[in-house]
Amino acid sequence: MNYDKKTVLVTGGAGFIGKHTVKSLVDNGFDVIVADRKEQPSDLNCKYYQVDVASDEFENIFKENLVDNIIHLAALPSVADSIAMPLVDCHDNYQATVNVCTTAKKYGVKKIVFSSTAAVYANPQYLPVDEKHPTSYLSPYAITKNASENFIKYCGIDYIIFRYANVYGVGQDAFGEAGVVAKFFDLMTQNKPVQIHGNGKQYRDFIYVSDVAKSNVLALQTDVSNEIINVSTNKKTSINDLFEVLKEELNYTIEPIYTESRAGDIEKSILNNGKLISMFDFTPSIDIRTGIKTMIENYKQQGAYA
């Protein structure tokens, strides 16, 4: 593909998906600026602003730089935290998105790529879920993500809204932006017991983080605009099956502990990725076992466990 070298602002660029996206952008020749509340990580070598993107100080980035495009990843990513702290969720998800969009509009940003979520489909009416499926909610997280989608469509800037399936992979913090893969992985590598909420038959569409990062980059390498697109594998993995794969690959021997289901958890989720394939000529290809093997190899290289 041919495209002009452009400056991309990545909000939440010090996070799990953010770091992978920044690396992929740099590898593809983009100039990258990161905005994040965290201190700059040592492995993130680009122009960096430690700032709350919902604050007035966020505008300073645009006063000091010409920003062509934005990949907006900054968010409170936890369903459980959104239920416990709905005001924080509103600030970190909806208020932040409104500030990003209004500032982007003021300074002539060309395109916004937004990280939304499968949570906006709630408990699906049919599977696999396509982008025409009605939106609903089981948590404040889903509400603020859906509201953010609507504000992005309203603000008048070209956009791509990606609804991510369950993202996992190298670098996911088991205590921060944790998904079930990271939590299980952390407990198993410490030979600690794993809790499974519900009966474990609930299933998800797990997508490896590098496939998500590639989708984010492709959104800026094509002329596709003003679309909502699922980013997924279109394959289901139950929590029990996930446990068994991790158990086999890590030589883990402790049986799981089953507990009550959690509020806000979706029972069944598979996202149709046909639109992603057709519009970007890209098919996410990393299956759950390959992704877990990659995680294991990385952690061995880091000396995290023998």
Kindly list the catalytic residues.
Answer: 141
H-type helices in 156-284, by residue range?
A: 180-189, 209-221, 239-250, 274-280
Closest CA to 244 of 231, 259, 254, 229: 254
Residue 62: how many CA atoms within 13 Å on its side-chain side? Answer: 20
Tokens 């979706």 identify what position?
266
CA 82 centroid distance within chain: 16
Q: What is the distance between the alpha carbons of residues 163 and 287, in angstroms, rounded to a whole number? A: 19
**Residue 129 near residue 121, CB atoms below 8 Å:** yes
Q: Would you give the DSSP letter of residue 138?
A: S
**Residue 232 near residue 118, CB atoms below 8 Å:** yes
Q: Exposed, middle or buried: residue 62 (CB in 10 Å: 0-12, 13-18, 19+)?
A: middle
